[in-house]
Amino acid sequence: MINVALIGNPNSGKTTLYNELTGSNQSVGNWPGVTVEKKTGTLRSKRIKTNIIDLPGIYSLSTISLEEEIAANYVINKKMDLIVNIVDASNLERNLFLTFQLLESDIPIIIALNAMDIVEKKKESINYNHLSKLLGVPVVPISASKKIGINRLIKTIETYDYSKKREPIKYDDDIEKIINDFDKYIKNRFVSIRFFEDGLKALDKITLAKEDLKDLLFSFYKANESFEIDFDMVLPNARYEKIIGYVNEIHKKSEIQGISDSDKIDRVLTHKIFGLPIFGAIMFLVFFLAFGPIGIFITDAFVGLINDFFNLIINGINSLGVAPYVSSLIANGVFGGLAAVVGFLPQLAILFLVLALLEDSGYMARAAFIMDRLLRRFGLSGKSFIPMLIGFGCSVPAMASTRTLDNDEDRKITTMIIPFVSCGAKAPIYGVFAGALFGPRSFIVVFSMYILGIIVAILSAVLFKKTLFKRAQANYIMELPEYRRPTLKNTMRHTWERSKDFLVKAGTVLLAAFIIIWFFSYFGFVNGQFRLLSNDEIGYSILGAIGKFILPLFKPIGFTDWQATVAILTGFIAKESVVGTLGILYGVNGNVIQNGTLLYSSIQANFTTAQAYSFMVFALLSIPCIAAVTAMKNELKSWKLFSFTLLYEIFVAYLVSFIVYRIVQVPLEDILTYLFTFTAIIFVFFMIRKIIKNKGKTCGGNCSKCGEEKRRIITQNIKYKEKNNVDKGDSNGE
């Protein structure tokens, strides 16, 4: 078995190529804890068995983020037999920098020269045969998105000659002298070069004799003095100079240098004035498509179909005359859970589709560029916007996508606040409660939940930044890729993979959750006898007992019956099940997830508007579902921080629900009175503080500012007097 790793710059088309190389043989990865950092698949080849490993994109082997470290360490520790280095032909100079670093190792390399179609479109050409000769490795021109050259690349992998050794790239004599000096002690050209660039960090993996290390450091400091530019720039500079020489030999640029399409699009989309409104409009469109009429229509149609199908099966099973608990399990447990899973799928699929379009086209990077200034105020980087936006769909992929952030602290803060961003699974809760109690105002109520989530997320980010991550400084440095027309195939694949991940997750966790809930809610002690309960006996269930037991804790935030506490409890297993559980607990006949209106009368009977609002707030802010909690643990990588986040979420949910419950209960006039009193108190407080502050200082007029003011007034007075005197004098004279 041969292991082939795909290494290349971010956005050079690695994943597209990965999909083309592996075909349908790819593994289901890309799920936290499984393989977010690397994906593995089998090469589409009949001749040899080959693993293809897709690694995160890197600009160089010196890394600044966790994600990059995974890829760089793969190379540094030589964990593969062969590297397929993807080079973006439309950006040769910078892409070849990494290629040169890779060539300095002794790992076999094939270069896949990607985006050749773009080069041709610009009426340019690249002499890849000559490049192959210059570098001493096979170069295969491809276009991953247009599927050109893939078979040739596969063939090159199949027939690669591992016995052939390549000549290392030689730099100018003064540089070679230093490398050789270091190599006398390190005895590995690759590590010596890494030491030249990165210093002691490069020596982590090797052990040197104490004397050798001393001599090595001495020659390092001696070499340091012999260059005009900074020592850590010397080798990168030499590399770029060599690369420019090569590029001039192979790259024939077109004579006409027009404005690129990408520039034209960017003139509008990142325009000084229109950039922001367009951004807002696009974000609104994303939201509208998934949660607006279109999304609802598709969902309804889809769920109706599924539900008819389920009913058919349930009726079929019942007609067989099975035991009552089996029929109950299937109807209430299994199909209740399944309906929740698939019922939510269409909306998520739309959301994933739109996000995939934004990502594939290159607009996501612009979104980060546009939003950076705003998010930085809250201690986040522009890149944090993307995970937070994905958080509106589902927290789990959102948390996984925080790995695109360069800075560890940014990543952690973003992960910690994502649960507050209202995920798609919470939407049905708002839908049912707002629909039942707020009538025509329900849209505003639902919208307010999203806004509340964002506000809590932002305030939490500021709080975390000021307390937990005091020393952190968010970094921002990002390449703006050229706009690309998203291909149907890639977008669909993106959408399908994420939707499938949701199905897999929901199909296991959620189904299990529903069966457990069914057991807890349909079994219990009646008159000392443990048995299956009928719908009207649900008050005796185990879940009911737990709900009743913890109910007093929830009284201050307006929960008056145990059904609400139990529904909240099941929300920890999956947010999708909150509405389903309420349906089960209120004994509603029919599928409440398909048809929320079935729950309306039960909710109207059991909740006031204030209670409903408090319930929604608690569901929004408290601990997310178990899948998101698992993802959070994966990303935070610290039990301490993880437990803190969970406790923090319970605390915030309780606090905000409490405040909201109290505020919503008081009539409008009272709110205005309170607001007025509150403002008055704050005003008085600041006045007093100002007076106290000023009291201590007795002004002798000695300080320069005061003195200046005095002098200005005095001179003004003198001038005034003089003028008046002159005037008087004049008038006297007349």
Partner 1 sequence: MTLREVLPGQFCIVRQVFANNLRKRLIDMGLITGTKIYVKKTAPLGDPMEIIVRGYSLTLRKSEASTIIVDRIDG
Binding site for partner 1 (CB under 8 A): 59-60, 62, 64, 91, 93-94, 97, 198, 229-230, 232-233, 236-237, 240, 270-273, 275-276, 279, 369-370, 372-374, 376, 382, 473, 475-480, 482
CA distance readout (Å), 11 to 16, 39, 399, 691: 10, 16, 20, 59
> Is the separation of the CB atoms in 428 and 443 below 8 Å?
no
Give whichever of 435 and 481 is closer to partner 1, judged by the CB atom. 481
Q: Least distance in Å: CB of 250 to partner 1?
A: 15
Q: How far is CA 611 from the centre of its chain?
A: 33
Rounded distance, CA 296 to CA 290, Å?
Answer: 8
Nearer residue to partner 1 within complex by CB, 414 or 577: 414
Beta bridge pairs of residue 8? 86
C-alpha distances in Å from residue 560, one per residue of 517, 621, 657:
21, 19, 14
* H or E segment and range at residue 506: none
In angstroms, what is the minimal distance from the CB of 12 to partner 1? 11
How far is residue 196's CA from residue 179's CA, in Å, rounded to a whole number?
Answer: 7
Task: Read off the amino acid at residue 111.
Answer: I
User: What separation in angstroms does the CA of 607 have from each of 107, 434, 593, 616?
Assistant: 67, 11, 19, 11
Between 181 and 409, CB nearer to partner 1: 409
**Residue 341 · residue 510 · CB < 8 Å:** yes
Do 419 and 398 contact (CB within 8 A), yes or no? no
Nearer to partner 1, 408 or 537 (CB): 408
| Residue whose CB is less far from partner 1, 408 or 561 | 408
Determine the Cα–Cα distance for residues 580 and 517; give it in Å rounded to an integer: 10
Distance, in Å, from the CA atom of 582 to the CA atom of 119, rounded to the nearest integer, reads 59
Q: Least separation, in Å, of the C-beta of 269 and partner 1?
A: 10
Is 232 or 537 the residue whose CB approaches partner 1 more closely?
232
* 477 vs 605, beta carbon nearer partner 1: 477
674: how many CB neighbours lie within 10 A of its CB?
Answer: 12
Question: Could you tell me the smallest distance in angstroms from the CB atom of residue 413 to partner 1?
Answer: 17
Residue indicated by tokens 């698949």:
41
Report how far Cα 106 is from the mean position of its chain's Cα atoms: 36
The amino acid at residue 583 is: G
Give 98 or 628: the residue with its C-beta nearer to partner 1: 98
Our CB check for partner 1 shows the closer of 273 and 605 to be: 273
Least distance to partner 1 from the beta carbon of 202, Å? 12
Query: Strand pairing partners for 126?
Result: 251
Least distance to partner 1 from the beta carbon of 460, Å?
23
Distance separating alpha carbons of residues 419 and 417, to the nearest angstrom: 6
Question: CB-based contacts of 334: which residues, under 8 Å, 6+ apart?
Answer: 511, 514, 515
76 or 578, CB closer to partner 1?
A: 76
The two most distant CA atoms of the chain are separated, in Å, by 127
Cα–Cα distance for residue pair 117/121, rounded to 1 Å: 6
Name the residue nearer to partner 1 (CB basis): 229 or 605: 229
Cα separation, 39 vs 448, whole angstroms: 39
